Amino acid sequence: MTVEAPTLADPHDWLRRRSRWSVFEIAFWVASLLPFFLFQTYLPLASQIAITALFAVSVDLVLGYAGVVTLGHAMFFGLGAYSAGLISKAGWGEPLTGLIIAGLFAGLVGYIASFIIVRVQHLALIMITLGFCLLTYELANSMSWLTGGTDGLQGVETWPILGVFRFDLWGYAAYGYALAALFLGLVLSRRIVHSSFGLSLRGIRENVRRMPAIGSDYRGHLQKIYTISAVMAGCAGALLTQTTDTVSLDTLSFQRSADVVVMLVLGGTGRLYGAVVGTIIFMVARDQLSDMNPQYWYFWIGLLLMVVVLLMPRGILGSLAQLARRRD
């Protein structure tokens, strides 16, 4: 990660310059509206891509920026998914409030977990996050009176968004809703990573020992970003529940935690759009490949991952950025 060093004179100017919207970003968001007009029959897939992208961005905040290697973020995704489902099952199917409550609940759990997370590093950190995720999974499995166990939660019914937009068969409402949430999540994440707080997170990632020496409270910072990330992952889970009216143990699975890391590596960590691009590539490839051969499509995903990691160690977006810089 080469970041041009801020000159001492105008650190705020530097930050402001970094946070300006680029042409590519604007083009990306305009393009994100294309499915409404060109690929209507792909809207259900597009909405699940947007949801997964939000989840990937939440992981990028902790993994890509703060260097907290996590293999258990599906825990927050699943907690969000189950809380949204349970609220709806209890008779309150309003999506927006459900989304907020689910996000806050995941955030609360994230805050509590963060006290342990900041005390461990490296391999131990991976084990702890993985352990948390597995524990939550087993908890949800054994509390089948609440969660429905392996059959999944039944009776989830989401009301129309704002009382107007019904979740339709084509997926217009689902994609619009998920895209809006992804946009908000990215705006918020941009704000975070292009702030002095965001810079101190990178400092933690690069050299955690040095941060206390320059007077930075790294544990506090880590707890903050971990909680924010948990809220975001919880919201992504809640979105999945609300757009599909289903919740199952699969939302908490290790597979989901691992897949999202694969998407991040594909797209490039430590750059928010890397998470989004990685998600799009992974899910579109998965959809197309599994149509061609439903049994053995994972082979091609594995091949894709190896090619990307070998030829583009910084992920697809990271390498593109590097190419662009070289040409300048």
Which residues contact another protein by CB under 8 A?
38-42, 44-45, 48, 141-142, 144, 149-152, 154, 169-171, 240, 244-251, 255, 290-291, 294-298
CA 164 – CA 95 distance, rounded (Å): 12
| Residue 97: exposure state from Cβ atoms within 10 A (0-12, 13-18, ≥19) | exposed
Q: How far is the CB of 253 from another protein (least distance, A)?
A: 8
Q: How far is the CB of 231 from another protein (least distance, A)?
A: 21
For residues 244 and 257, which CB has a smaller minimum distance to another protein in the complex?
A: 244
Amino acid identity at 155: G
Contacts of 37 (CB under 8 A, 6+ apart): none
- N-term to C-term CA, the chain: 18
* Radius of gyration, alpha carbons of the chain: 20
Q: How far is the CB of 158 from another protein (least distance, A)?
A: 11
Q: Directed axis angle between helix 298-311 and helix 315-327, to 10°?
A: 30
Overall size of the chain counted in residues: 328
For residues 251 and 269, which CB has a smaller minimum distance to another protein in the complex?
A: 251
For residues 10 and 151, which CB has a smaller minimum distance to another protein in the complex?
A: 151
Q: How far is the CB of 241 from another protein (least distance, A)?
A: 8
Q: Which two tokens stand for residue 130?
A: 């993985």
Which residues on neighbouring strands pair with residue 60, listed in sequence order?
Answer: none
Give the number of other Cβ atoms within 10 Å of residue 213's Cβ. Answer: 8
For residues 97 and 144, which CB has a smaller minimum distance to another protein in the complex?
A: 144
Q: How far is the CB of 166 from another protein (least distance, A)?
A: 10
Contacts of 282 (CB under 8 A, 6+ apart): 259, 262, 263, 266, 301
Q: Nearest Cα to 315, choosing from 280, 285, 270? A: 270
For residues 83 and 248, which CB has a smaller minimum distance to another protein in the complex?
A: 248
Q: How far is the CB of 57 from another protein (least distance, A)?
A: 19
Q: How far is the CB of 104 from another protein (least distance, A)?
A: 22
Q: How far is the CB of 248 from another protein (least distance, A)?
A: 5
CA 228 – CA 62 distance, rounded (Å): 9
For residues 207 and 255, which CB has a smaller minimum distance to another protein in the complex?
A: 255
Q: How far is the CB of 112 from another protein (least distance, A)?
A: 27
Q: 198 vs 21, 89, 195, CA distance in Å? A: 17, 38, 5
Q: H or E segment at 205?
A: helix 196-206
> What are the DSSP E strand ranges found in 189-249?
none
Q: Residues 256, 250: contact at Cβ < 8 Å? A: yes
For residues 241 and 269, which CB has a smaller minimum distance to another protein in the complex?
A: 241
Token pair 């290790």 in the structure block, residue: 254
User: For residue 157, which phi and psi values (nearest 5 degrees)?
Assistant: -140, 115
